[in-house]
Structures are given as structure tokens and as C-alpha cells.
Chain A
Amino acid sequence: EADIYQTPRYLVIGTGKKITLECSQTMGHDKMYWYQQDPGMELHLIHYSYGVNSTEKGDLSSESTVSRIRTEHFPLTLESARPSHTSQYLCASSEGDWGGNTEAFFGQGTRLTVV
């Protein structure tokens, strides 16, 4: 069973609110990732981190921001939520490179609805 946790699982929030989606892993992995999954199931990388104090933007432009102050924690923040932010957000981590012999682990996701 994967030791990576996302909270909350579901969130319904009004437009303009600030929100933080939490992601924590207890495996000591250096690499962590945020994916946005649209209703058509397609996954888009929006942020990644290779370690503490390292954050990079992914392939899909996102108004969200991330931080990596501790190895185990990789929160995602939206300063002002909008209906266009409605989506499922998946957090993942890995010990090494995706292409190596290490497995990537995904959290259960946070389904965000902005009304």
C-alpha cells in the first residue's frame, strides 16, 4: 500500500477563496509531482520538485503554486479559486527517476469543485 496521502479527498468551495491541497509521503522520496486530471481522464503535469527548496512548473500552465519546505510535504495552493480550476488533482512521489527501476506512487487524489 502506498504511503502517500492527499487531503481533502473532496472539496467544494466558492469563487475567490484561497485553498491549499495537502500532499504528504512517508517514504522519504526526493521527487514529488502534481498532476491535474481533466474530466476526460487525461493527466497533465503542473508542478514537480526534486527535493527541498526545489520546485518547477510542469507542462501545463497552472495558476497554482507549490512549496517544498520539507521532504515529506508538497502542498499546492490556489490564491483565488475559479470555476475553471474545477478538476481532480493527483500527487505522486518517487525515490528515483521515472525511467529507472523505482516505482512511482500516487495519492488518491483531491476532487476540487469551485462554484
Chain B
Amino acid sequence: GDSVTQMEGPVTLSEEAFLTINCTYTATGYPSLFWYVQYPGEGLQLLLKATKADDKGSNKGFEATYRKETTSFHLEKGSVQVSDSAVYFCALSDRAGGATNKLIFGTGTLLAVQP
């Protein structure tokens, strides 16, 4: 079945460091890919998405490129801030057969940014 694998955390960085959170997926169809963020005590918010191969999603300085050849969707940010501390979830929605279109989440990666 479809699945998402993302790097385990926690990831601890100093402010202004470069961030990469790896995400790879397995899907039988043609998935859309997402990154969601969960701040402490909150629900999930969509951070960015890409709906087809080679698309780049970007938002708030974060970006991720849909790489079909490596089945990856790694999240990057050039300079993290303390306010970026949160849990980040990679997710996919497989449109093949399209009936249900449920979101499948990775296990989440906790990011802690220190001043």
C-alpha cells in the first residue's frame, strides 16, 4: 500500500542554520505531496504542496520539490528561526482510482531551533 517515510527526529538546530527534513514515498498511482506543520498545542496547518512531478512548493521560506525519479519530497529552509520549532509531517494523497483520496501521513519530525 501507499506509505510515507520521513526522517526521525528530533532535529535540533541553531537559529539561522540550514534545514533539511527528508521524505520519501511509495505510491501505486500519481500522488500529490504535502508538508504539514503542527505548532505546540495546535492542529495541523498546510505548509506547502506539489501536485505533479518537478513541481516546487514553497511557503514562509520553506520549499520542497516533487522528485518522481527518487520518490522524494524533502523539506528545506535556508535559515531557520526559533519560531519554526514544530512538528513537520510529510503526506501524500494518491489519486489513482480516486475514490477516497485519503491523506497518508509520515510519522512526523520534531524540529527544535535554539537561539
CA of A109 to CA of B110, assembled, Å: 18
B44-A106 in contact (CB<8A):
yes
For residue B110, which residues in chain A have a CB less than 8 angstroms away from its CB?
41
Interface presence of B98 (CB below 8 A): yes
Q: Smallest Cβ distance from A92 to chain B, in angstroms?
A: 8
What DSSP secondary structure best describes chain B's contact surface?
strand
Query: Is B43 interfacial (CB 8 A cutoff)?
Result: yes
Residues of chain B from 1 to 58 with CB closer than 8 A to chain A in the complex: 31-32, 36, 38, 41-46, 51
Q: What interface size band does chain B fall in?
A: 20 to 34
* Chain A interface category by residue count: 20 to 34
Contact of B102 among A40, A42, A48, A101 (CB under 8 A): A48
> Nearest-CB distance from B57 to chain A (Å)?
12
Q: Per-residue 0/1 for A61-99: is the Cβ within 8 Å of any B Cβ (1 yes, 0 no)?
A: 000000000000000000000000000001010000111
Contact (Cβ within 8 A) A98 B108: no
| B72 sits at the interface (CB 8 A) | no
Interface of A is mostly: loop
A108 near B103 with CB under 8 A, answer no
Given A97-B95, A99-B32, do A41 and B102 touch, yes or no (CB 8 Å)?
no
User: Are B101 and A99 in contact, CB atoms less than 8 angstroms apart?
Assistant: yes
Minimum CB–CB distance for B13 against chain A, Å: 18
Most buried by A among B38, B51, B94: B38
Interface residues of A (CB under 8 A from B): 2, 6, 33, 40-43, 45, 48, 58-59, 90, 92, 97-101, 103-104, 106-109
